[in-house]
């Protein structure tokens, strides 16, 4: 299975373990035209995430892809705690990698994002797997950015599923609610949200990880190594077995068309930005559920509520393949 005639893709991420696996997957998927990666504070600092990204791309043999670090704080200036307890010291599960042979782009993430969108003849697609601060800042700098973006896919939010940084809020939306609210309201031509409702049901297992460790290419082995720490976190906090959710990799699969959601109704979606118990919660109007989600006034996003559960096998097969 491969992607056909894709639009150039930019990934905006905070490269921890699942972001790294998503990047490896994209680099190993035939037809994906990955043009640039921008990083933001989230799982780790924006600068550390850029370094991690360069190391991951080098492992995948893609030193040609530019990487730029972006926002260090939220839109309102908050610095949220790093997620070392989830992603390990440095963000890659404590796995030591060689120093990257390439350096980050000298410009900012916003510079690289806008330049990539401008230089692509027919515009770009964007996959965002991190707090949405960089995208919000890019919209401030260029309000017409949505005209240059074919599809924006965001891993974030929780509709019916509990949040993972509060009872209601998921990390990518909840760590910068003002940015998320601005991005969701920007009028994208094709906006898809991939929330915890589906990513927590697509699970990698220890059997998958052992296959990755034993496979014949560096990308697969790196995924297997960094997932060890991630599996421990999930087993202790979120899953009744040793394994992990497929948060960012599943969003990547949806972004490039390898995963077709079973249910992705178009819904009105916003974010709670008040300083209360629901701060950072994704507010999706699902009141049409009993009528098959008819078209609703104000619908601004396709919200993925069901996938078929087979993506982990596809992911491992792709990373273990000797050739792309």
Give the separation between CA 114 and CA 166, rounded to whole angstroms.
33
Give the separation between CA 179 and CA 61, rounded to whole angstroms.
33
- Cβ-proximal residues to 321 (8 Å cutoff; 6+ apart), any chain: 28, 217
Centroid of chain to Cα 286: 23
Instruction: Mark whether 247 is an active-site residue.
Output: yes
Task: Work out the burial of residue 294: count CB atoms within 10 Å of its CB; fewer than 13 is exposed, 13-18 middle, 19 or more buried.
Answer: exposed
Which of 119, 55, 125, 59 shows the shortest CA–CA distance to 90? 55
Catalytic residue among 160, 208, 247, 290: 247
Contact status, residue 250 vs residue 198, Cβ threshold 8 Å: yes
Which residues on neighbouring strands pair with residue 128, listed in sequence order? 12, 154
Where does residue 265 fall: left (phi above 0), alpha (psi -120 to 50 degrees), or beta otherwise?
A: beta
In this structure, the chain runs to a length of 324
Q: Tokens standing for 107?
A: 């410009």
Give the separation between CA 85 and CA 94, rounded to whole angstroms.
11
> In 3-state terms, what secondary structure has residue 121?
coil
DSSP 144: T
DSSP 146: G
Which residues are known catalytic residues? Answer: 247
């Amino acid at each position: 299975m491969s992607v056909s005639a894709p639009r150039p893709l930019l990934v905006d991420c905070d490269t921890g373990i699942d972001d790294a696996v998503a990047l490896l997957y994209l680099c190993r998927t035939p037809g994906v035209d990955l043009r640039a990666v921008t990083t933001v504070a989230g799982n780790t600092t924006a600068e550390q995430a850029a370094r991690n990204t360069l190391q991951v791309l080098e492992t995948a043999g893609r030193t040609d892809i530019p990487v730029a670090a972006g926002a260090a704080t939220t839109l309102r200036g908050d610095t949220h705690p790093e997620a070392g307890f989830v992603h390990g010291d440095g963000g890659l599960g404590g796995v030591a990698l060689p120093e990257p042979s390439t350096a980050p782009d000298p410009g900012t993430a916003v510079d690289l994002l806008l330049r990539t969108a401008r230089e692509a003849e027919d515009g770009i697609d964007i996959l965002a797997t991190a707090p949405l601060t960089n995208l919000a800042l890019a919209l401030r700098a260029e309000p017409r950015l949505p005209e240059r973006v074919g599809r924006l896919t965001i891993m974030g939010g929780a509709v019916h599923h509990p949040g993972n940084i509060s009872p209601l809020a998921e990390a990518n939306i909840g760590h910068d609610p003002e940015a998320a609210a601005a991005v969701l309201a920007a009028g994208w031509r094709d906006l898809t949200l991939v929330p915890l409702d589906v990513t927590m049901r697509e699970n990698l297992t220890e059997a998958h990880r052992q296959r990755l460790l034993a496979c014949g290419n560096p990308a697969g082995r790196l995924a297997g190594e960094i997932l060890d720490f991630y599996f421990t976190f999930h087993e202790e906090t979120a899953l009744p077995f040793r394994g992990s959710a497929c948060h960012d990799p599943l969003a990547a699969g949806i972004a490039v068309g390898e995963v077709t959601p079973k249910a992705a109704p178009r819904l009105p979606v916003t974010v709670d930005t008040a300083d209360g118990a629901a701060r950072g919660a994704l507010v999706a109007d699902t009141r049409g559920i009993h009528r098959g989600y008819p078209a609703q006034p104000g619908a601004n996003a396709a919200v993925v509520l069901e996938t078929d559960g087979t993506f982990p096998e596809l992911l491992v097969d792709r990373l273990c393949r000797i050739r792309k």
